[in-house]
Amino acid sequence: MNEDKEVQLDDTDRKIIDLLIKDGRMSYADIGKELDLSRVAVRTRINTLIETGVIEQFTCIVDSEKVGRKVSAFFNVDCEPNSLVEVAENLANNPFVASCYQMTGPSTLHTHVLADNFNQLESFINNELYALKGITRVDSQILLRRFKSRTGFKL
Amino acid sequence: MNEDKEVQLDDTDRKIIDLLIKDGRMSYADIGKELDLSRVAVRTRINTLIETGVIEQFTCIVDSEKVGRKVSAFFNVDCEPNSLVEVAENLANNPFVASCYQMTGPSTLHTHVLADNFNQLESFINNELYALKGITRVDSQILLRRFKSRTGFKL
Amino acid sequence: MNEDKEVQLDDTDRKIIDLLIKDGRMSYADIGKELDLSRVAVRTRINTLIETGVIEQFTCIVDSEKVGRKVSAFFNVDCEPNSLVEVAENLANNPFVASCYQMTGPSTLHTHVLADNFNQLESFINNELYALKGITRVDSQILLRRFKSRTGFKL
Amino acid sequence: MNEDKEVQLDDTDRKIIDLLIKDGRMSYADIGKELDLSRVAVRTRINTLIETGVIEQFTCIVDSEKVGRKVSAFFNVDCEPNSLVEVAENLANNPFVASCYQMTGPSTLHTHVLADNFNQLESFINNELYALKGITRVDSQILLRRFKSRTGFKL
Amino acid sequence: MNEDKEVQLDDTDRKIIDLLIKDGRMSYADIGKELDLSRVAVRTRINTLIETGVIEQFTCIVDSEKVGRKVSAFFNVDCEPNSLVEVAENLANNPFVASCYQMTGPSTLHTHVLADNFNQLESFINNELYALKGITRVDSQILLRRFKSRTGFKL
Amino acid sequence: MNEDKEVQLDDTDRKIIDLLIKDGRMSYADIGKELDLSRVAVRTRINTLIETGVIEQFTCIVDSEKVGRKVSAFFNVDCEPNSLVEVAENLANNPFVASCYQMTGPSTLHTHVLADNFNQLESFINNELYALKGITRVDSQILLRRFKSRTGFKL
Amino acid sequence: MNEDKEVQLDDTDRKIIDLLIKDGRMSYADIGKELDLSRVAVRTRINTLIETGVIEQFTCIVDSEKVGRKVSAFFNVDCEPNSLVEVAENLANNPFVASCYQMTGPSTLHTHVLADNFNQLESFINNELYALKGITRVDSQILLRRFKSRTGFKL
Amino acid sequence: MNEDKEVQLDDTDRKIIDLLIKDGRMSYADIGKELDLSRVAVRTRINTLIETGVIEQFTCIVDSEKVGRKVSAFFNVDCEPNSLVEVAENLANNPFVASCYQMTGPSTLHTHVLADNFNQLESFINNELYALKGITRVDSQILLRRFKSRTGFKL
């Protein structure tokens, strides 16, 4: 919570953001029509949102199962406290790891992993994760069902 | 893990997807230049990726702190087993809830919440979350540090 | 531990048992050759082992993945103590449940489940398991790797 | 979950498998009578089931108490993550250990042990199990009651 | 964390606060001498600190053992989530309860209790605490040793 | 619980203590008026209470948020048992640490920390707390709501 | 901890107590010889120790396995807090229960049970213990090995 | 559970044992009167009970608070598995330790400690218990209330 990070946005900015979260490729013209703005005004505002860091990135959401990544797993990685940052940086560099967070609560790393299948997951666990120094215990869980997965924000 | 969901993709499809994950607004022309394809060929392939559900959505990633959502919290919501689905659907409809998953492991809902500040979070917990029927215990954690947050895939 | 249940076996009985655990269809003649006994003597001994209940059943071990049961899951089912037996009997009647034990330790049922895929597992959990009365919490785990799986004995 | 392992079976194959799970020594002739097949057709199908690995083994189930193994115990063996595979292989080689599995959930080995009596179990724990390197914590439980123990499949 | 609550203080204010935390009865004159200020200037500043709520209260710290309150106990009170606020208000009204907080982490009330002796503590637990509705589990701990107990701030 | 520590107090002593807990700067004269005592008698009694250690200190309670310390956090610091006292003394010397207690229950240090904001808290955790030798696990919680915070006594 | 319960004992009293803990049937004469006291002096002192309640009872320690009680089990019985005393009184009246204590820590009853064999223990658990109202969870453990078992004092 | 340890007792033996558990100093004559036996017959039987090890010891139960041991504490001592026996033997030699058991469940030593007061208990914990090698975690609890404490049998 960094108090001075907030950027002042007006209602139009917020409406543009909402439209782009829903469709990141929406054209300036279509946004302008929707909000009664000129194409140029929309472009200027979007550029400002990008420059001030409000919009971090345009991206697309891929159905991981359709590209063959069929197992979505979540790991609580318990670390020796003085190895936590090093373990986290190792995990962040691993291509199977989609996200890695430090939270309050136990001295654990919240880690999300995508694998093609169970054999690959087992190999990731035994050969890559468990091989890291400073890990004391790992708890793994497999995704059963998504009830909500809102786009536009990172955890 | 639905075995028949996988879509056959060639290398060019995969390269297009990678480019769009990095920049969801990249133009057909620029993608074509990068991959030595015509603008039309790119458009055709992207349309196919959308129609087959490989690309679920184009979106943008917003810096939640810059738009005033300063507290990112994670909840493990323990439910009476026979209320779990109902609780999950209630949480999915709550505007503070960004995501809600059922995992293997304990009969718990993995829930991510974004709030403007601690007062709002405390109010969400005591007035909205704890008011739901069928919840037996809640464990909440606050985000301290992001080590990796890969775009392009949902948990 | 029922002290009076033990049956007195001699060395030849134990050797016959070992051979039958390794190959349940081994013929009386082949067992006789191996142990220097007549075919009739082998048959008589095996019949006695069956009659005294030492050998409970001849069976075969099927590779569950090859017959389409691809997910092997283990559940710790926490029960309200006064519902434990009733829950156990319900689970024992469920075709997905392969085994169900009460152990010392927590008031939990050790339950093994085989499902064709994750969708079926999720449906079993949410529609059948969580619908049982008297269940307070469930912990589920998916088999990653078998290091040893000795035949011939139940847990 | 290895997607390409599944073998195509027809109804007759499945009926043969069910009969053999119930009685692993059932003769080709009796199976043929039951299913209206020739003795040779039954033998051919069973041989194919064995060659394709669908049937892994014929075996018999022994009443462990009647042969003097009166204590059935279950261990959760917590390992230092980078010693888990080595510990598992050590346990797999131990004659008291009937089965040893790695599951999702905590970095623990699911281990089943059969002992003749409590003195032997105590000796196994203190002299063999606790002597292994890389074990951080052990949780042991004793079987109180079997509610279901289906034959034909391994955990 | 209420962002707009902060009051602007200069160095002199902070020095006055530090002196008053160390000795809450220090006279205006003595503070003035220490900081090279007039008695009136000190009084004005202190009055402002009180009016703006920076200083909530002057108080004294009593050695609880010397006044006969010999047992300092800490309770984690687990509540049914929808009873947590009601339980907290009940505890806050109980004269044995010195403090009661809601924290992130589990849906538990952090509660500090002072009792004259163990009989009184046991009576408080069994007759007052356990009699409250909506409590599912209580964990109690007794103070063994104080390593630091800084005055001037509440938890 | 040191049995010989208790000091004999009469009713008037207890009333003076109660008044001073409520207002630590109350003048001898005002206390005297309230309790029908001379100014000198009050001063004598208070001096005795200080000399016998009943009153440990006069202090003031500062609103930590108003002086910019906006995050109140609580840590359970698990230690290797033979490092607990050393860790506790290190924590006691850390300016972010407001209190540090050893309790019955797990071999854990009950530690209260005040920080200006989350960045500072994260830095304290990763750079100062996790750097201490002999710490095996840390559990952190953030204050959500104060239901009671009685002055006059330390935990 | 009841401060006024302590009885003043001299060295001779303590020596008599030590002798009687070691051999509860030691005669007045033998104690007198050992401590250089008359038979009458010993009897008078022992009577005083009984009258003041220092010695609660003379008893003998029976080897539970030799009288057929072969399973020594320990239970942590978790109760709904407002049922704890009632559950405890029920357990205290059960002939299988040897001891039942309330401790600090979780709202659990520390209960020791002696049974003739595992069948009886299983029957006690399922038919008597789990039938009690107000029990939420039970954890049971079986004695593996006694390292020390000092006579003369209750837990 | 050592199956061959049991000694055959008749009803009269069992009645004598019951009388001696209730009053370990009951004279042969009084026992004889109660059971309609001669003094000599009683003595012979008791001697046999001692020689066969059925009666391990005559002792007395002392009220620990009345001899100044006011704090009865219970410890779960978690050990590195390969140090458990050594830790147990160290604890068994410590005069504060009244009993020490290894149970099924976690690799923990069940330990009962009697101390004169909290200062002594804190000193035992920090200077003696935590100084032992091979201890990873300790959980301590203080006795609040005895509901049942049957004499005659050890845990």
Q: How far apart are CA F30 and CA D120, in angstroms?
A: 78
Task: For C125, name the nearest residue in chain B, comparing CA atoms only.
Answer: B81
Average pLDDT, chain C: 92
pLDDT grade, residue B4 (50/70/90)? Answer: low
Encoded tokens for F115: 């920080």
User: F100 to each of A81, E22, F114, H114, how far by Cα in Å?
Assistant: 19, 19, 12, 26
Distance from CA of B90 to the nearest CA of A (A): 10
β-pairing, D108-115 with D55-62?
A: unpaired
Which DSSP string corresponds to B88-130? HHHHHT-TTEEEEEEESEESEEEEEEEESSHHHHHHIIIIIIT
Q: How far apart are CA F70 and CA F63, in angstroms?
A: 10
Encoded tokens for A128: 């890559």
Does C16 have pLDDT greater than 90? yes
Encoded tokens for G30: 């033998």
Q: Closest to D144 (Cβ–Cβ): which among G125, G144, G145? A: G125
Distance from CA of C54 to the nearest CA of H (A): 20
User: F49 to each of D136, E115, F7, F8, how far by Cα in Å?
Assistant: 52, 21, 9, 10
Which DSSP string corresponds to F58-108? EEEEE-TTTTT--EEEEEEEEE-GGGHHHHHHHHHT-TTEEEEEEESEESE
Q: What is the pLDDT along chain D (155 residues), one digit of tens a residue?
A: 444 578 889 999 999 999 999 999 999 999 999 999 999 999 999 999 999 999 999 999 999 888 888 899 999 999 999 999 999 999 999 999 999 999 999 999 999 999 999 999 999 999 999 999 999 999 999 999 999 988 877 76
Which residues are D135's β-sheet partners? D79
| Substitution target from F65, F83, F90, F147 for chain E, most E beta carbons within 10 A | F147
Q: How far apart are CA H148 and CA G88, in angstroms?
A: 9
Q: What pLDDT was estimated at residue F4?
A: 54
Q: What pLDDT was estimated at residue G120?
A: 94
Distance from CA of G83 to the nearest CA of H (A): 14
Asked if A touches F (at least 3 Cβ pairs < 8 angstroms), the answer reads yes
Q: Closest to C107 (Cβ–Cβ): which among G73, G137, G142? A: G137
Q: Are F102 and E153 in contact (CB under 8 A)?
A: no
Which chains does H contact via 3+ CB–CB distances below 8 A? C, D, E, F, G
Q: How far apart are CA G44 and CA H71, in angstroms?
A: 29
SS3 of chain C: the string is CCHHHCCCCCHHHHHHHHHHHHCCCCCHHHHHHHHCCCHHHHHHHHHHHHHCCCEEEEEEEECCCCCCCCEEEEEEEEECHHHHHHHHHHHHCCCCEEEEEEECEECEEEEEEEECCHHHHHHHHHHHHCCCCCEEEEEEEEEEEEEEECCCCCC
Fill in the DSSP letter of residue E104. S
pLDDT tens for C58-84 read 999 999 889 888 899 999 999 999 999
Distance from CA of F27 to the nearest CA of E (A): 9
Q: How far apart are CA H82 and CA H133, in angstroms?
A: 11
Q: What pLDDT was estimated at residue E120?
A: 94
| Substitution target from E126, E129, E144 for chain G, most G beta carbons within 10 A | E126
Q: Are G140 and G129 in contact (CB under 8 A)?
A: no
Q: Are F94 and F132 in contact (CB under 8 A)?
A: no
Q: How far apart are CA C54 and CA G64, in angstroms?
A: 31
DSSP reduced 3-state for G77? strand
| Substitution target from C50, C56, C62 for chain D, most D beta carbons within 10 A | C62
Task: For A73, name the nearest residue in chain C, comparing CA atoms only.
Answer: C142
User: B67 to each of B93, B150, G33, how far by Cα in Å?
Assistant: 21, 20, 90
Pairwise CB contact (< 8 Å): B84 & C130: yes
pLDDT tens for E18-32 read 999 999 999 999 999
pLDDT grade, residue C122 (50/70/90)? Answer: very high
Chain H residues whose beta carbon lies within 8 Å of the beta carbon of residue E126 = 145
C49 phi/psi in degrees, rounded to 5: -60, -35
Burial class for D40, CB neighbours closer than 10 Å (0-12, 13-18, 19+): exposed
Q: Are D102 and D79 in contact (CB under 8 A)?
A: no
Average pLDDT for B45-61: 95
DSSP reduced 3-state for E40? helix
Distance from CA of C122 to the nearest CA of A (A): 6
Q: How far apart are CA B77 and CA B70, in angstroms?
A: 22
Q: What's the complex ipTM?
A: 0.88
Task: For F118, name the nearest residue in chain B, comparing CA atoms only.
Answer: B144
F39 phi/psi in degrees, rounded to 5: -55, -40
Between chain E and chain G, the number of residue pairs with CB atoms below 8 A apart is 43
Q: Closest to C106 (Cβ–Cβ): which among G117, G118, G139? A: G139
Q: What is the pLDDT along chain F (155 residues), one digit of tens a residue?
A: 444 578 889 999 999 999 999 999 999 999 999 999 999 999 999 999 999 999 999 999 999 888 888 899 999 999 999 999 999 999 999 999 999 999 999 999 999 999 999 999 999 999 999 999 999 999 999 999 999 988 877 77
pLDDT grade, residue G73 (50/70/90)? Answer: very high
| Substitution target from E77, E132, E137 for chain G, most G beta carbons within 10 A | E137
Q: What pLDDT was estimated at residue B65?
A: 86
Encoded tokens for D149: 């123990």
Chain G residues whose beta carbon lies within 8 Å of the beta carbon of residue F104 = 104-105
Fill in the DSSP letter of residue E8. P
Which residues are H146's β-sheet partners? G101
High-pLDDT (> 90) share of chain G, %: 83
DSSP reduced 3-state for A82? helix
Burial class for C135, CB neighbours closer than 10 Å (0-12, 13-18, 19+): buried
Encoded tokens for A54: 């409000």
Q: Which amino acid is at B49?
A: L
Radius of gyration of chain C (CA): 20
Chain E residues whose beta carbon lies within 8 Å of the beta carbon of residue A107 = none
Q: What pLDDT was estimated at residue F70?
A: 87
Pairwise CB contact (< 8 Å): H66 & G60: no
F interface with H, Cβ–Cβ below 8 Å: 1-3, 78, 80-82, 84-85, 102, 104-107, 136
pLDDT grade, residue E59 (50/70/90)? Answer: very high
Q: How far apart are CA D139 and CA C103, in angstroms?
A: 12
Chain C residues whose beta carbon lies within 8 Å of the beta carbon of residue D22 = 57, 59
Task: For C1, name the nearest residue in chain H, comparing CA atoms only.
Answer: H1
| Substitution target from H142, H143, H147 for chain E, most E beta carbons within 10 A | H142
Q: Are D88 and A121 in contact (CB under 8 A)?
A: no
Q: What pLDDT was estimated at residue B152?
A: 78
Pairwise CB contact (< 8 Å): G117 & C2: yes
Pairwise CB contact (< 8 Å): D107 & A130: yes
DSSP reduced 3-state for D6? coil
In the block, which residue shows the tokens 């290091």?
Answer: C147
Low-confidence ranges of chain A (pLDDT < 50): 1-3
Encoded tokens for A64: 């991981």
